[in-house]
Amino acid sequence: MKRRVAILISGRGSNMAALIEGARANSFPAEIALVISNKPDAAGLALAKSNGITTLAIDSKPFGKDRAAFEAVMQSALDEHRIDLICLGGFMRLLTDDFVNRWTGRMLNIHPSLLPSFRGLDPHGQALRAGVKISGATVHFVTPEMDAGPIVMQGAVAVQDGDTAETLAARVLDIEHRIYPAALKLVASGGIRIDGDVCVTTNADNVSDTLIVPAAV
Ligand code: GAR
């Protein structure tokens, strides 16, 4: 049985599109059953619709600061669609601890930095100001603390001299689109185990890739 996935978005939905594309394969252990946006005009909603995915706009604006009331509506939709796993894809609304705890071990997020570095806003600007030579993206389980939680998968890119937040973001976004479907596949197929704060990959291939920046010649 494929795991039923809901993707929560607020904007363009490029990670959502990568997940939809990845889940097309017959052998993929999950299906994208629902896309929810808290912004009715999110470009990602139309994109999901054009891919034949069931979509739902739940405008968060009228709920103001009442996050619990907004989440109650969202939870009913998730129940109605028998959702097993949630993927956050640029979902720009803070979730209450209650909602997050209800989905412990069943909700993933992607963040465009190598966590635990550069949480929160402007991660690429933070990375450039810190002068790191390697940056990347992280797929992690969601916990009440923002941009924290057991890490499922990370992908790295070299930071180039002359990079701006925009050029770095574009290269990291390519990595995001590769690792999010791969991480969902791993989780949905039962290929990981959460051990405290750490995600352990069962049957991981030995990885020996090295990225040295600038190249050590
Ligand atoms: C992505 O870069 C994602 O990593 C980031 O928002 C963007 C959404 O783009 N998420 C965060 O910063 C979460 N803290 P998308 O709508 O094209 O997927």
Residue located nearest, by CA, to atom 8 of ligand 1? 90
The overall pTM is greater than 0.95: yes
Residue 207 predicted with pLDDT over 90: no
Give the nearest ligand 1 atom to 121 CA: 12
> Residues 111, 124, 140, 177: which is the catalytic one?
111
CA of 217 to the centre of ligand 1 (A): 35
User: Kind and range of the H or E element at 64?
Assistant: none
| Residues facing residue 32 across a β-bridge | 5
Residue located nearest, by CA, to atom 1 of ligand 1? 90
pLDDT band at 206 (very low <50, low <70, confident <90, very high): low
> Does ligand 1 lie within 6 Å of residue 12's CB atom?
yes
pLDDT band at 209 (very low <50, low <70, confident <90, very high): confident
Residue located nearest, by CA, to atom 7 of ligand 1? 90
* 160-166 long-range contacts, CB within 8 A, separation 24+: 163/128, 164/128, 165/122, 165/124, 165/125, 165/128, 166/124
Mean pLDDT of 178-205: 93
3-class SS at 195?
strand
> 97-119 pLDDT, tens per residue?
999 999 999 999 999 999 999 99
Residue 34 predicted with pLDDT over 80: yes
In this structure, are strands 134-141 and 55-57 parallel, antiparallel, or unpaired? unpaired
Residue 177 designated active-site: no
Residue 168 predicted with pLDDT over 80: yes
Domains belonging to the chain, first-starting first, are 1-103 (3.40.50.170), 109-217 (3.40.50.170)
